[in-house]
Structure 1
Amino acid sequence: MTKTVVHTASAPAAVGPYSQAIVAPAGKTVYLSGQIGLVPATGEMISDRFEDQVKQSFANMAAVIEAAGGSLASIVKLNLFLTDLGQFSIANGIMADSLPQPYPARSTVGVASLPKGAQFEIEAVIVI
């Protein structure tokens, strides 16, 4: 899939590994549910460490994307949910290391709580 990055100087530039907007070609659009840092084999949180939860959430998301017939390059939109926005730079770094460029569009939201006491959740829209 060839994604086209939309960038305009009339809006603030991206301040991390994301694009202002992405134009995706016609294809099958898949809306992924949120993924938290649960270990698939046990259904338990991987650890209390924020970094571990982010990495496991990305791994869980990648598994669902692959099951849908896509790859991490298929992501056109991500939503990140953090219970502590002070940890944002960690999530940003893991995202930069995990995803190929061009980066998808992204929103990040601080939330009061997440299921199972998670500190991080990610959801995505992919086009394949």
Structure 2
Amino acid sequence: MKKITLITLFASVLSNGFANAKNSDIEHLNAASASLPFSQIVRVDNTLYMSGQIGLTSSGKLAQGGFAAETKQTLENIKSTLEQHNYSMKNIVKCTVMLTDINDFKMFNKIYAEYFTPPYPARSAFAVKALALNSVVEVECIGAV
């Protein structure tokens, strides 16, 4: 009898969880000019999920000047995207950093500290083989509102 009760309870918890997920407040936030097949930010209830950003300038080309220039442009793009939707860097609680050369990590930290203040968001960093458009850095963020 206990097995059936536990199974019934587990099934009830799962179905209620899925029902609540269906009723979540989901909003896809995009600039009017966004034409790529992803959303800039997806807000689910009080959580912001940002698509990864690379160092593209307004001309659609990577920032010139190497790693530092691309990193600054990447973080400017994150800041700008947040501001377009009335959020700020203070809303960010987690960043995932992808670098094509892990030896750039120290320089990344220096630039990153110009955009975030203590207490810093949680963060992880990975060395990757390649990134879109031959970028050397990509940053993806999660925020809270």
Which stretches of structure 1, 4 residues or longer, exceed 3 Å deviation after superposition?
Answer: none
> d(CA) in 2 for partners of 1:32 and 1:64?
9
- Give the root-mean-square deviation of aligned CA atoms: 1.1
2:98 to 54, 77, 81: 81
> After superposition, where does 1:6-21 map in structure 2 within 5 Å?
none
> After superposition, where does 1:27-106 map in structure 2 within 5 Å?
28-40=46-58, 42-106=59-123
Name the SS of the counterpart of 1:66 in structure 2. Answer: helix
Shift of 1:48: 4.8
Larger Rg: 2
Paired residues in the alignment total 101
The structure whose RCO (Cα within 8 Å, separation 6+) is larger is 1
TM-score normalized by structure 1? 0.75
Q: Which amino acid aligns with 2:95?
A: L
Identity of aligned residues (%): 35
Is the 1:70–1:126 Cα contact (8 Å) retained in structure 2? no
Name the SS of the counterpart of 2:114 in structure 1. Answer: helix
> After superposition, where does 1:113-124 map in structure 2 within 5 Å?
113-124=130-141
Structure 2 unmatched ranges of 5 or more: 1-44
TM-score normalized by structure 2? 0.67
